[in-house]
Structure 1
């Protein structure tokens, strides 16, 4: 770890203080870039207007009797979602962000479990909300033009709230924040367990914001393209609250297939994503290059020349790789990856093309960031170094130095809602240390490496630990493979566990490569088996993949694109 000073940041105790400070400092500067389906261009909404809308809605929520109550929130990444979030927690009650991709019965179940008194929702989900059996006191529609009994129009609430504030009402704006109260209730999108409700406070989020921004430069000139689901802590804290805290701008993406177009339209400089998104973008860059004879060879030669020049302080990447930059809008300076480990080759590859790339590690229970690579100090194989206000240690280390990652500090959750047993369990908080369930190790420079999930590890009879995620990364580098899952399979011959893989072939690439000469299932299997044998040569023998199954449907995934391993 290099001894490089941290960036100066504004200290904040809570999110109300954050919004007030940003509105005062950045005033008429765009906080958001928004557009409706009927609009072609993004329109700016200033910091002052955003605060005005938050105060107006918050005032009406208090007037409706929702002070101290829980308010569920569901919808797309949009301006009204952001207004509703801060209007709920900056002086009203507790916010409960929900995953819009969940089936109706599960949405109703989470609203019921959280004991929410109101729900604010996008008009796209009105039918689902109307069909719920669980009764809320109020239903607030982001898209309704008029009120209809207990279904209220958010735009009408904003109008009424503005009138009340103009007449001198301060029921919301004068509210004091209890920095340590459980004002944010987040249901985890665990890939195996029933979702747990994580309780976070203003203090948790504020401490995470200040710490992460002291490690990574974010400036008021930055424009974030919001791509990941905003209900998820990663996008909410890092892609919505972080830019507001630093005076940057948030533009909402219209969907994954619109990323290149929206990057260009918004002139975005920063994008948060998950490995699946960045690996797809990186793969497409090289796939496009391969369509022009000799271009891949020229591109690799240009990278070698560029790398040599950068060693002596000369950076011509933006000029040399202009076509790549323009395909990504022409303004991107940094990609930030989270939610899972990314292939180091991809991170290094983007940086060689002139786009800074860092990854971090976090969990909902940590608000979410626990470790982060800096833009001035990074290791592409590592998840990062601990945030300056957090402690990370490795518990129960094995002979290989790998053990469970545990975290302690001000951004660690208050606990699990209505579940004191789970909070204090080996999967919860013990003596102030949160047990993540992730396995990893730390090097002498304090870089944290993630080897996999504790519950996924394959343990052989002679005590050898095999981390499926490590082997999956290698298999997924095979050009004809789209994704894979590695698991332990009982071997009838040796009566021990051996390594097996379920592989999803990349049929688009296979069909393109063998156009006019369709391959049979057996042909595809033999080709992938041959490539996996090559992978095995780089692994110790007990890690060799000995069984392969082909699957032609993609695996079920969470909204942050992590495979649900046991579905």
Structure 2
């Protein structure tokens, strides 16, 4: 990367990050938490975070968990991330688990990792009570003062840890943190294949935090609202650790239904999420504008804003005050990742005066590989995921005639390997280069574009490659489509032996507006099939979608809202 980079402070491990953060930001809020559901936010300072981490870590050492693997499962909250930091910064290896897992899956993954301890939210008590794990520790999302502490309750653990520290117990405080040892074990939520446990070290995470901070600046008065699953590395690294590293603060939401309300309450200025969330927000925003018959006025404001921006005048807060007020009045930046966002939506947010940063990465890279730097020409590059991070390298191999090939990455954030899977590790790691399995290309200015997953490509009998993601983007632009999945259908006789098919989940709200008197299944099918047939006329013959299936149920997805292709066929 050649653009000017922000200065960052050196940190050798996550413990160093917490310690220096407490020195630099002291009584500034690190987290905003609620003690009661629906109550007001309370601040947890950087100093308190360090003290709580030391107390909990000391108690974990006293419980004999040094060198052990300890799982965490539950909703996003302070106790979750506190457990994470306490474990990795002087106790053992943390194993974050997806809260959407079934009881059997939790059992299987905890056993596969060899966990000797588990932190769990009280809502998961029935899930973990029969697990063959010696030490089970509970935390509450909201503390009921009438409920007495039990021995392994988080409040009790902290109390006992503080007592040990007051007596001079320094086992945790003096513990050496090996920045090169596997201390984080993350089970991938990939859309294909068997979940693997990715092994990460402190160096992986710290290098990624610093590299993100070199290109995207978080201000000390910035606040984010944590809404993505906290076990996912995009949420934990980008939305929590990078924000803490730069002195901002993190508020925890109370559920997707409360996002807007919590943003107002927390006065959030940054929102980190996945495309599905932002595309939904954008669509609802315009529907609201249409209902209030203010489309013409908003389009005029957007046009004026573009002109003012070109001459360096910023009147966004005044022009779009009503929109900003809906999000608490302070929203300035959206950070999206985990999947590609519709370029029209990204440009639309820019037009409304919001900065949109896009990142690309994988669990195996802790996670960010590329991102859109501050101050760059994001509007013109809306189809791109940005430039490679400062300490990383990207190369494209096995390119076709369009220059599209597999993306390989090398950098200090590449994982140590898959736990207990040397053969699988060797398949993706070669001479330091990680084979992402993603396909894409780089433009002459070094901006990366993702075209799809290698495993998803539909190969015709004549050797043509069809990228499902490209067609899905086109189909999703149909106003009556909520979401879709394109795939190859074998066994249907066509000229090239493969039929391009699509499963569509209709947007019934939009269909209701088109058919005020109601539409039956056949009418819905004919409507969507007809529009796809018109779309086909603009596509090469081999890319045309010839088989349409209407779904009346949700797609099976990962917790980051990616469609699991194999599970939906």
Q: What TM-score does the superposition give when structure 1 sets the normalisation length?
A: 0.96
Q: Which stretch of the first structure deviates more once superposed, 80-89 or 378-387?
A: 378-387
Post-superposition Cα deviations, 1:321-372, rounded to whole Å, max 9, x if no partner, equal: 1111111221110000000000111111001001111211000000000000
Secondary structure in 2 matching 1:221: coil
1:415 aligns with 2:417: yes
Secondary structure in 2 matching 1:552: coil
Stretches of structure 2 lacking an aligned partner (at least 5 in a row): none
- What corresponds to 1:383 in structure 2? 385
Secondary structure in 2 matching 1:228: coil
How many residues of Structure 1 are paired with residues of Structure 2 in the alignment? 558
- What corresponds to 2:502 in structure 1? 501
CA distance in 1, matches of 2:96, 2:266: 26
Secondary structure in 2 matching 1:117: strand
1:42 aligns with 2:44: no
Runs ≥4 residues deviating over 6 A: none
- What corresponds to 2:14 in structure 1? 15
Post-superposition Cα deviations, 1:182-236, rounded to whole Å, max 9, x if no partner, equal: 0000000111211000000000000000001101111211101000000000001
CA distance in 2, matches of 1:368, 1:532: 36
Post-superposition Cα deviations, 1:241-296, rounded to whole Å, max 9, x if no partner, equal: 11111110000011111111111100001111001000000000111111123x22
Q: By how many angstroms is 1:501 displaced?
A: 0.9
Q: By how many angstroms is 1:147 displaced?
A: 6.4
Secondary structure in 2 matching 1:361: strand
Kept in 2, the 8 Å contact 1:187–1:196? The answer is yes
Post-superposition Cα deviations, 1:306-327, rounded to whole Å, max 9, x if no partner, equal: 1112111122222111111111
CA distance in 2, matches of 1:320, 1:536: 40
- What corresponds to 1:356 in structure 2? 355
> Cα 1:228–1:38, aligned 2, differ >3 Å: closer, same or farther?
closer
Kept in 1, the 8 Å contact 2:120–2:137? The answer is yes
- What corresponds to 2:87 in structure 1? 88
Q: By how many angstroms is 1:526 displaced?
A: 1.8
Q: By how many angstroms is 1:493 displaced?
A: 3.5
CA distance in 2, matches of 1:69, 1:187: 17
- What corresponds to 1:530 in structure 2? 530
CA distance in 2, matches of 1:167, 1:538: 76
CA distance in 2, matches of 1:538, 1:305: 34
The correspondence of residues 89-238 of structure 1 with structure 2, limited to 5 A, is 89-132=88-131, 135-143=132-140, 152-238=152-238
CA distance in 2, matches of 1:412, 1:38: 39
The correspondence of residues 363-512 of structure 1 with structure 2, limited to 5 A, is 363-377=362-376, 378=378, 379-425=381-427, 428-490=428-490, 491-512=492-513
Kept in 1, the 8 Å contact 2:29–2:45? The answer is yes
Post-superposition Cα deviations, 1:140-189, rounded to whole Å, max 9, x if no partner, equal: 011396566xx611111101111111221111111111000000000001
Q: By how many angstroms is 1:78 displaced?
A: 0.2
Post-superposition Cα deviations, 1:438-465, rounded to whole Å, max 9, x if no partner, equal: 1111111111111101010011122211
Secondary structure in 2 matching 1:100: coil
Q: What TM-score does the superposition give when structure 2 sets the normalisation length?
A: 0.96
Secondary structure in 2 matching 1:329: coil
Kept in 2, the 8 Å contact 1:31–1:50? The answer is yes
Kept in 1, the 8 Å contact 2:462–2:496? The answer is no
Kept in 1, the 8 Å contact 2:68–2:116? The answer is yes
CA distance in 2, matches of 1:493, 1:93: 57
Instruction: Supply the RMSD in Å over aligned alpha carbons.
Output: 1.4
Kept in 2, the 8 Å contact 1:499–1:545? The answer is yes
Q: By how many angstroms is 1:546 displaced?
A: 1.6
- What corresponds to 1:299 in structure 2? 298
Secondary structure in 2 matching 1:152: coil
Stretches of structure 1 lacking an aligned partner (at least 5 in a row): none
